[in-house]
Amino acid sequence: MAYKILTVDDSNFARMLLKKAILEAQSDVEISEADCAEAALKMLAGNSYDIFFIDVNMPGTNGFELAMQIREQLPEAHLAILTANIQDASQKKAQELGAAFIAKPVTTEKIRSFLQQVGETDG
């Protein structure tokens, strides 16, 4: 299944690594990128995405706040929260949002596992 994916991270390097991991995990996807929450929200207008990979620590609106806004607009979307902060509080917040928690550094294996779960949910 070809998914439309939006990655949101203020680091260009992190977005490049994430895109590489996504494409290694599943090649039949369409990936768009945003460098902040505000840009991501603008991209939602008139577009529909299946999967969101969202960094937590960004200037302005953080990833948790963005995830809440996406969840309100697209309740069926699959969300993955990405952060190096692996404290229980961050994991709990992701869970409360109905989002997967993926600890940085991102790897192809972590992305593949998440995409497999998405496939099982959609299948």
pLDDT tens per residue across span 8-46: 999 999 999 999 999 999 999 999 999 999 999 999 988
Q: Where are the beta strands (DSSP E) in the chain?
A: 3-8, 29-34, 51-55, 78-83, 100-103
In the predicted structure, residue 72 carries a pLDDT above the cut 90: yes
In the predicted structure, residue 123 carries a pLDDT above the cut 80: no
What token pair was written down for 53? 């990979």
In the predicted structure, residue 105 carries a pLDDT above the cut 70: yes
Specify the amino acid at residue 97. Answer: L
Partners of 81 in the β-ladder: 54, 101
What token pair was written down for 7? 């990655």
pLDDT digits (tens, 9 = 90+) for 111-121: 999 999 999 88
In the predicted structure, residue 1 carries a pLDDT above the cut 70: no
Percentage of the chain exceeding pLDDT 70: 98
In the predicted structure, residue 88 carries a pLDDT above the cut 90: no
CB distance 122 to 115 below 8 Å? no
Overall fold of domain 6-122: Rossmann fold (3.40.50)
Residue 87 banded pLDDT, cuts 50, 70, 90:
confident
In the predicted structure, residue 85 carries a pLDDT above the cut 90: no
Q: What are the extents of the domains in the chain?
A: 6-122
